C-alpha cells in the first residue's frame, strides 16, 4: 500500500471537524451536502446531487465491470441531554475528537471518501461509487432509497457505520406494528361492556411468548416487543378500544412480509404495519470481501442495529471506525487512532479485491 497514511488521515480528520461544525439533523442536511459536493469537486471529481444525497462515480466507469458502492450518511440525531461540550464544535482532547456525528457516522464517511479518492487513481477490477446520503437516522425516503435508482447495478455495498472495523455480515430488519383491540364501553361500576384492555392482553401475551420456528445463526430469533399502550378515557368507563405498538426486529430467515403474515394469522386484533421496507440484510461468509476481511483479522458478527443496509437489495457488509455503543450519546467522540485504522483497513480490504 503506497499511500501515506499520516497525510491522508490528517485530511480525513480536517474534513470531519468541518462536518461536525455544521448542524445536519435528518432532513436538514443542506449545508453538509454543500460541503461534501464542493469538496469532491475541488479534488477533481464530478459530483452529483439528488436532494441532500451527494455522490460520485470513479473515473473510466466501465459497465462491464462489477460495481462497489462506498456509502455512509451525513445526517445526525438531535443532541442527547447531558452534553458537556458543544456538540457542533470539534473539541480535541488527547486522542479524542468530540462532536455530534463524530462516531456515527462522520468518521466512516470521511474514511470512505478518502478511500474512494485514493482508489480512484489506482488500477482496479471494479468500478467505485461514493455516496454520502441523507435521512439515515430516520430511515427516510429521501436518502439512499431515493438515490439507488440513479446508481445503476451495484454488486457490493460497503456501508460505513461504527463497528470497530469488524464485519457486520448480517443485520436485523425492522417493522413497527399498530394493533387495535375493540371492545364495548360501559359503566365500570356495573357488569357492562366488554373491556378492550382485557381482550388485548391475550394478544400482548402472544407477542411476548411466541417463538418463530426458524432462527438465524448470526442474528438469533425474530424479536417482538410491545413498546406503547393507549386505552381508556376516564376511571369509571370500561374502555372500548386498546391500541398498542409492537417493535419487531426481523432476521434473514423470514422476509418482513412473511413475518407479518404469521403475526396476522395468530393474533385476534387487526394489525397494520407502518412499513415492510426495512428488511434484514447481509452477505454469505464465503463472499470474497468477507474472506479477505477474515484473513486481515476482522471478526464477523450479526448486527442488531438498523442501517441503510435494510434498503439495499444487493450484497452488503457494514464496517467502519468507532464503536456503536457511543452512537446517540452525550459527548460522542471518535479516536484519532480509529480514523487512521479505519483508513488503513478500508484500503487493505478493497485493494486488489476480486468480486
User: CA geometry: angle at 139 spanning 275 and 207, to 5°?
Assistant: 45
For the stretch 97-112, pLDDT in tens is 999 999 999 999 999 9
Strands (DSSP E) found in the chain = 48-50, 53-57, 67-73, 91-93, 96-98, 127-133, 156-159, 167-171, 173-182, 186-187, 223-231, 237-238, 241-250, 271-273, 281-282, 300-303, 316-318, 333-335
**What separation in angstroms does the CA of 250 have from each of 219, 256, 309?**
9, 7, 13
Radius of gyration of the CA atoms of the chain, in A: 23
User: Which pairs with CB-CB distance under 8 Å and at least 24 residues apart come from 92-99?
Assistant: 95/335, 95/336, 95/337, 96/333, 96/334, 96/335, 96/336, 97/13, 97/16, 97/17, 97/20, 97/333, 97/334, 97/335, 97/336, 97/339, 98/331, 98/332, 98/333, 99/17, 99/20, 99/21, 99/332, 99/333
| Cell numbers standing for residue 38 | 464542493
- The three-class DSSP label of residue 39 is helix
| Cell numbers standing for residue 183 | 371492545
Helix, strand, coil abundance in the chain, percent, nearest 5: 30, 25, 40
CA dihedral of 333, 335, 339, 344, whole degrees rounded to 10 = -150
List the pLDDT tens digit at each of the 355 positions of the chain: 567 899 999 999 999 999 999 999 999 999 999 999 999 999 999 999 999 999 999 998 999 999 999 999 999 999 999 999 999 999 999 999 999 999 999 999 999 999 999 999 999 999 999 999 999 999 999 999 999 999 999 999 999 999 999 999 999 999 999 999 999 999 999 889 999 999 999 999 999 999 999 999 999 999 999 999 999 999 999 999 999 999 999 999 999 999 999 999 999 999 999 999 999 988 999 999 999 999 999 999 999 889 999 999 999 999 999 999 999 999 999 999 999 999 999 999 999 999 8
For the stretch 70-94, pLDDT in tens is 999 999 999 999 999 999 999 999 9
The confidence score (pLDDT) of residue 1 equals 57
- The three-class DSSP label of residue 163 is coil
| Cell numbers standing for residue 52 | 441532500
Amino acid at each position: 500500500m503506497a499511500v501515506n497514511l499520516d497525510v491522508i488521515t490528517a485530511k480525513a480528520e480536517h474534513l470531519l471537524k468541518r462536518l461536525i461544525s455544521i448542524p445536519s439533523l435528518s432532513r436538514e442536511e443542506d449545508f453538509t451536502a454543500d460541503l461534501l459536493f464542493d469538496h469532491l469537486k475541488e479534488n477533481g471529481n464530478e459530483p452529483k446531487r439528488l436532494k441532500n444525497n451527494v455522490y460520485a462515480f470513479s473515473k473510466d466507469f466501465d459497465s462491464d465491470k462489477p460495481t462497489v458502492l462506498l456509502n455512509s450518511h451525513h445526517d445526525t440525531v438531535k443532541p442527547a441531554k447531558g452534553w458537556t461540550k458543544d456538540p457542533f464544535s470539534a473539541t480535541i482532547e488527547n486522542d479524542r475528537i468530540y462532536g455530534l456525528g463524530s462516531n456515527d457516522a462522520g468518521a466512516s464517511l470521511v474514511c470512505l471518501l478518502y478511500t474512494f479518492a485514493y482508489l480512484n487513481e489506482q488500477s482496479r477490477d471494479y468500478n467505485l461509487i461514493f455516496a454520502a446520503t441523507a435521512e439515515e437516522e430516520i430511515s427516510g425516503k429521501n436518502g439512499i432509497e431515493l438515490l439507488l435508482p440513479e446508481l445503476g447495478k451495484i454488486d457490493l455495498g460497503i456501508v460505513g457505520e461504527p463497528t470497530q472495523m469488524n464485519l457486520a455480515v448480517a443485520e436485523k430488519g425492522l417493522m413497527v406494528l399498530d394493533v387495535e383491540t375493540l371492545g364495548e364501553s360501559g359503566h365500570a361500576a356495573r357488569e357492562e361492556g366488554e373491556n378492550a384492555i382485557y381482550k388485548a392482553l391475550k394478544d400482548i401475551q402472544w407477542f411476548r411468548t411466541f417463538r418463530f420456528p426458524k432462527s438465524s445463526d448470526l442474528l438469533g430469533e425474530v424479536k417482538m416487543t410491545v413498546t406503547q399502550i393507549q386505552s381508556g378515557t376516564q376511571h369509571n368507563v370500561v374502555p372500548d378500544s386498546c391500541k398498542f405498538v409492537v417493535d419487531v426486529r426481523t432476521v434473514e430467515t423470514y422476509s418482513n412480509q412473511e413475518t407479518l403474515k404469521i403475526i396476522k394469522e395468530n393474533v385476534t386484533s387487526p394489525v397494520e404495519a407502518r412499513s415492510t421496507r426495512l428488511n434484514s440484510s447481509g452477505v454469505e461468509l464465503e463472499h470474497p470481501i468477507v474472506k479477505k476481511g477474515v484473513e486481515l483479522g476482522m471478526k464477523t458478527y450479526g448486527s442488531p442495529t438498523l442501517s441503510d443496509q435494510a434498503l439495499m437489495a444487493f450484497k452488503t457488509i457494514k464496517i467502519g471506525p468507532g464503536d456503536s455503543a457511543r452512537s446517540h450519546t452525550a459527548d460522542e467522540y471518535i479516536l484519532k487512532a480509529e480514523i487512521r485504522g479505519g483508513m488503513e483497513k478500508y484500503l487493505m480490504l478493497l485493494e486488489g479485491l476480486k468480486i
